[in-house]
Amino acid sequence: MRQKRNRKNSTFSKVEKFLEIPQEISTNMPKFTMLGFEKLMIENYKAILEYQDFFIRISTYIGIVNINGFNLNLQEMTTDDLLITGKIESIDIEAISDEA
């Protein structure tokens, strides 16, 4: 059964590659787009865990994103996209461990 699943996944991956579907659309992989030190767009996020004007924590499908800075603001929000503005000083990601 495992072999069939692997074949199915690899076939689907081949179809995605053939159709040139971006990985962030076909999976829940987050995409980060930063413009200077003042704007950060996060696509495919799960939830906002903590929000202050100097610290924002965002849950994604690969881990927790921590944004540090000054006058941070959640400028635009949709169910999939989040635009953060302000003086962004650092971004770090806490990866989710698959080990149990």
The CATH number assigned to the domain with range 28-95 reads 2.60.40.2000
pLDDT digits (tens, 9 = 90+) for 38-96: 999 999 999 999 999 999 999 998 999 999 999 999 999 998 899 999 999 999 999 88
Which residue, chain included where needed, has tokens 């999939």?
Answer: 80
Domain boundaries, the chain: 28-95
pTM, whole model, 2 decimals?
0.72
Question: What pLDDT, on a 0 to 100 scale, did the predictor assign at position 7?
Answer: 43
Q: Closest Cα partner for 59 from 76, 37, 82, 36?
A: 82
Neighbours of 46 (CB within 10 A): 13
Which residue, chain included where needed, has tokens 């069939």?
Answer: 4
The beta-strand segments (E) located in the chain are 31-35, 39-43, 45-51, 55-60, 63-77, 81-95
Question: What pLDDT, on a 0 to 100 scale, did the predictor assign at position 86?
Answer: 97
